[in-house]
Amino acid sequence: MRSFFSTLLLLNWGLLLVLLTLALGVFYIYDLVVPAVRPLILFSFVLIAIFGTFYISTNIAMRITDPLATVEKKTKEINAGDFGVELSSPDIRELATLASSINEMARRLKLQFLDLTVEKEKFNYLLQNLKEGVFAIDRNHKFLFLNRNISETLIQKNSQFKEFAPSIKNKELLSFITDKILSGKEGKTEFQDGLHFYTARIYPIKSDAMVQLYIGVISDITEDRQNQLIREQFFQNASHELKTPITSIKGYAETLEYKLKLQPESNERKFLDAILRNTDRLIRIVEDMLTVSRLENHKTVLNLTDVSLYELVKNVSESLGVLYSQKKQNLVLEIPTDLKVRADRLLLEDLLVNLISNASAYSPEGASVIVKAFATKENNLIQVIDHGIGISAEDAERIFERFFRVDTNRSRKEGGTGLGLSIVKHIARLHSGEVNVAPNPKGGSIFSFVFPKK
Assess if residue 419 is contained within a domain.
yes
Tell me the C-alpha distance between 247 and 245, whole Å.
5
The answer to whether 449 and 352 are in contact (CB under 8 A) is: no
| Distance (Å, whole) CA 20 – CA 23 | 5
Does one domain contain both 433 and 342?
Answer: yes
Best CA proximity match to 371, nearest among 313, 293, 452, 450: 313
Residue 284, in any domain of the structure: yes
| CATH number of the domain within which 152 lies | 3.30.450.20
Provide the domain count of the chain. 4
* 122 lies in some domain: no
Give the type of residue at 441: P
125 domain-assigned = no
What's the average model confidence in pLDDT over 160-178?
89
pLDDT digits (tens, 9 = 90+) for 179-217: 988 888 888 888 888 888 999 999 998 887 788 889 999
- Rounded to whole angstroms, how far apart are CA atoms 305 and 422? 24
Max avg pLDDT among 94-103, 277-286, 365-374, 391-400: 365-374
Q: Which domain holds residue 145?
A: 130-220
Q: Are residues 29 and 141 in the same domain?
A: no
209 and 232 assigned to the same domain: no
Three-state DSSP class for residue 26:
helix
Are 406 and 377 in a shared domain? Answer: yes
Pairing of strands 330-334, 368-375: parallel
Q: Tell me which of 250, 280, 296 is where a domain ends.
A: 296
Stronger pLDDT, 311 or 288, i.e. the higher one:
311
- C-alpha distances in angstroms, 228 versus 233, 235, 240, 285, 427? 9, 10, 18, 20, 19
pLDDT digits (tens, 9 = 90+) for 380-390: 999 999 888 88
Q: What is the Cβ-side half-sphere exposure of residue 364, based on CA atoms within 13 angstroms? A: 6
Amino acid letter for position 407: D
Same domain, 92 and 214: no
What's the pTM? Answer: 0.50
For residue 311, what pLDDT is reported? 92
Higher-confidence residue: 89 or 161?
161
Angle between helices 420-430 and 345-361 (to 10 degrees): 150
Nearest-5° Cα angle at 52, 50 to 53:
65
Identity of the residue numbered 157: K
Predicted pLDDT of residue 447: 92
The pLDDT score that the predictor gives to residue 202 is: 92
Split at pLDDT 50, 70, 90, the class of 161 is confident
Write down the pLDDT at residue 157.
Answer: 86
Are 290 and 313 within one domain? no
pLDDT digits (tens, 9 = 90+) for 393-441: 777 777 877 766 665 444 445 545 667 788 888 888 888 889 999 888 8
Residue 4 has pLDDT above 70, yes or no: no
CA of residue 340 relative to chain centroid, distance: 36
Residue where a domain terminates, one of 296, 314, 344: 296
**123 inside domain:** no
Confidence of residue 34 (pLDDT cuts 50, 70, 90): low
Report CA torsion sign: 207, 210, 211, 213: negative
Cα–Cα distance, 159 to 143 (Å, whole number)? 7
Q: What percent of the chain has pLDDT over 90?
A: 7
Say which residues have a Cβ less than 8 Å from residue 91's Cβ, sequence separation at least 6.
1, 2, 7, 63
Q: Which residues contact 77 (CB under 8 A, 6 or more apart)?
A: 83, 84
Of residues 323, 237, 244, 314, the one with CA closest to residue 279:
244
Single out the residue in 187, 205, 220 at which a domain terminates. 220
pLDDT, tens only, 293-303: 777 665 567 78
Tell whether 434 and 355 lie within a shared domain: yes
pLDDT in tens, 221-240: 888 888 877 877 776 777 77
CA-CA-CA-CA dihedral for 144, 149, 153, 155, to nearest 10: 0
How many other C-beta atoms can be found within 10 angstroms of the C-beta atom of residue 435?
23
User: Do both 438 and 316 map to the same domain?
Assistant: yes
For residue 198, is it within any domain?
A: yes
In this structure, the answer to whether residues 325 and 428 fall within a common structural domain is yes
Taking residues 438-445, report their average pLDDT.
Answer: 86
| Same domain for 422 and 327 | yes
Residues 264 and 206 occupy one common structural domain = no
- Measured CA to CA, the distance from residue 370 to residue 388 in angstroms comes to 12
Does some domain include residue 427?
yes
Check residue 334 and report its DSSP letter: E
pLDDT in tens, 241-268: 777 788 888 888 888 888 887 887 888 8
Q: Are 179 and 216 in contact (CB under 8 A)?
A: no
The more confidently predicted of residues 54 and 143 is: 143
**Considering the domain boundaries, does residue 109 fall inside one?**
yes
Over the chain, what is the mean pLDDT? 81
- SS3 helix, strand, coil % of the chain, rounded to 5? 55, 20, 25
> Are residues 172 and 155 in contact, defined by beta-carbon separation less than 8 angstroms?
no
The pLDDT of 116-141, averaged and rounded, is 81
CATH classification of the domain holding 382: 3.30.565.10
User: Are residues 191 and 59 part of one domain?
Assistant: no
Contact 242, 286 (CB under 8 A): yes
Highest mean pLDDT among 24-33, 111-120, 271-280, 341-350: 341-350
